[in-house]
Amino acid sequence: MKVGVIKCDRYQKDLLKDALTRSVGLLGGFENIIEPDDKVLLKPNLLLAAKPDRAVTTHPLFLEACIEIISQHIPVGNITIADSPGAGIAYTAEKLNKVYRQTGIMDVAQKTGCVLNQDPGYQTVALKEGKAIKKIDVINPALEADKIINLCKWKTHTLTTMTGAVKNMFGVVPGFSKVGHHLRFTSVEAFTQMLVDIACHMKPALSIMDGILGMEGEGPGMKGTPRHIGLVLASTDCLAMDAVVAKLMGLDTESLPLLRLEGVPAFDDIQLRGEISPEYVIKDFILPTTAGRKQVMENRFANKYLMPLAKTLLNPYPVTDQATCTLCGTCQKVCPHQAIKIRGKQVKFDYRRCLRCFCCSELCPEGAVSIKYKWLANLLLNKAGWGGKRKALKHSEND
Ligand code: SF4
Ligand code: SF4
């Protein structure tokens, strides 16, 4: 369980190639991972059609640098780029091309000559070893590849607190199939176990994280805030990579369900190599407001004296900023439980139906959906410091 971390300040091709080569070099190098005849899938994070400077998706230059390195080991025609964007976005060539164009990935494919997936096909596969899930739909290029290279992005996530190497593998599940998983796994713990099942089954040969321009706050979509992090991370173990990123973000087992799952290595058991010290935590990193959700929801005082009112008062909920909303209807389409209706010129939420999956916030192209708490939860968050920013500040250390 090794994780290589190299500093890289900006998206400049020669710097990126150097950082990628050195970070993977700390694990033995690309030559130890890719065989001469391999068909390789590059799986970036292409959550939605967003420009690279929004930090929602893996940067196109990061991908381009990676392709140029890998094509020294295999023919460029053996390299395919594929992803299925966020839950509820139809997995069709038309929708994929829209995402490819906006994120700059289409230009990368044209420039390098690698294959850009247009096949909307998928197959159902069994996950015998899965703890939460035993069967999933997987997009064809992920099944056809000899090796998957997981090009994940450093981001926060309102549902799972962070999204890194493990959650990026959820993108092998085609568009609408993801909705079913949100419906079935309504607790964060169960949803996270399902993500781990998928990542362990797909077993990417290598995960490389674009942590140069990362995201903090209300990620992983347009509501999140880009933040310069300046790191490239590499590992052959996606669980170990996320354990390191969690530590750098200032998260611990209390605040991140992923770290409590069986099979996820403890930070101290991971060999951290490269350019940061094991004590390093990013100063003032802002977590999503939902990061303190577990502590708020399980608050003993509120639950003892205010039940059943407490659940309503403590649970975070989505709201729309009508000034930013363009009434595009995406949130209504992606909501897995039909809890959103557009009536007249307003987006209306049915909070009795709402699962708190926050797909609406994740996929709103305008970043118009915020997550709010009622007064009691706000009081607890502010008083106890369970909110994202306070938590990060409390854990701040620097090397
Ligand atoms: S997705 Fe965003 S912009 Fe579109 S209708 Fe919903 S809140 Fe408005
Ligand atoms: S309204 Fe509720 S259930 Fe629907 S997408 Fe938003 S958070 Fe999920």
Extended beta strands in 193-339, E state: 206-217, 224-235, 271-274, 317-320
Contacts of 308 (CB under 8 A, 6+ apart): none
Q: What is the pLDDT of residue 302?
A: 66
**20, pLDDT greater than 70:** yes
Task: State the Cα–Cα distance between residues 127 and 123, nearest whole angstrom.
Answer: 13
**220, pLDDT greater than 60:** yes
- The protein residue whose alpha carbon is closest to atom 3 in ligand 1 is 325
Contacts of 143 (CB under 8 A, 6+ apart): 123, 125
Q: Percentage of the chain with pLDDT > 70?
A: 92
Fold of 289-394: Alpha-Beta Plaits (3.30.70)
Domain 2-274 shares a fold with domain 289-394: no
The string of pLDDT tens digits covering residues 231-267 is: 999 999 999 999 999 999 999 888 899 999 999 999 9
Task: State the Cα–Cα distance between residues 346 and 327, nearest whole angstrom.
Answer: 7
Q: Are 245 and 93 in contact (CB under 8 A)?
A: no
Mapped onto helix, strand or coil, the DSSP state of residue 387 is: coil
Q: What is the pLDDT of residue 398?
A: 34
State the residue for tokens 């090796």: 147
Q: What is the pLDDT of residue 2?
A: 97
Q: Which atom of ligand 2 is nearest to the CA of 369?
A: 6
Band of pLDDT at residue 129, cut at 50, 70 and 90: very high
- The protein residue whose alpha carbon is closest to atom 5 in ligand 2 is 335
Q: What is the pLDDT of residue 376?
A: 75
Mapped onto helix, strand or coil, the DSSP state of residue 308 is: coil
Determine the average pLDDT of the residues in 271-300.
Answer: 86
Q: What is the mean pLDDT of the chain?
A: 92
Q: What is the pLDDT of residue 393?
A: 36
Triad 345, 85, 212: Cα angle to 5°: 105
Which ligand is closest to the CA of 221, given by its number? 1
Q: Are 162 and 246 in contact (CB under 8 A)?
A: yes
The string of pLDDT tens digits covering residues 173-213 is: 999 899 999 999 989 999 999 999 999 999 999 999 999 99
- The protein residue whose alpha carbon is closest to atom 4 in ligand 2 is 335
CA of 175 relative to ligand 2 center, distance in Å = 16
The residue ranges of every structural domain in the chain are 2-274, 289-394
Band of pLDDT at residue 381, cut at 50, 70 and 90: confident
Q: What is the pLDDT of residue 89?
A: 86
CA dihedral for 386, 388, 393, 396, sign (positive or negative): positive
Q: Are 23 and 5 in contact (CB under 8 A)?
A: yes
Peptide bond preceding 52: is omega within 30 degrees of 0, i.e. cis?
Answer: no
Task: State the Cα–Cα distance between residues 219 and 227, nearest whole angstrom.
Answer: 11
Q: Are 163 and 210 in contact (CB under 8 A)?
A: no
- Closest Cα partner for 285 from 230, 347, 340? 230
226 phi/psi in degrees, rounded to 5:
-60, 140
Q: What is the pLDDT of residue 87?
A: 85
The string of pLDDT tens digits covering residues 268-285 is: 999 999 999 988 899 899
Mapped onto helix, strand or coil, the DSSP state of residue 125 is: strand
Q: What is the pLDDT of residue 384?
A: 60
For 2-274, CATH number out of 3.40.50.11440, 3.40.50.1000, 3.40.50.460, 3.40.50.920 equals 3.40.50.11440
Q: Which atom of ligand 2 is nearest to the CA of 331?
A: 5
Determine the average pLDDT of the residues in 141-152.
Answer: 98
Q: Are 235 and 207 in contact (CB under 8 A)?
A: yes
**140, pLDDT greater than 80:** yes
Band of pLDDT at residue 383, cut at 50, 70 and 90: low
The string of pLDDT tens digits covering residues 23-53 is: 999 999 999 999 999 999 999 999 999 999 9
The string of pLDDT tens digits covering residues 338-365 is: 999 999 999 999 999 999 999 999 999 9
**pTM for this entry:** 0.92
Candidate from 89, 223, 319, 328 with most ligand 1 atoms within 8 A of CB, to mutate = 328
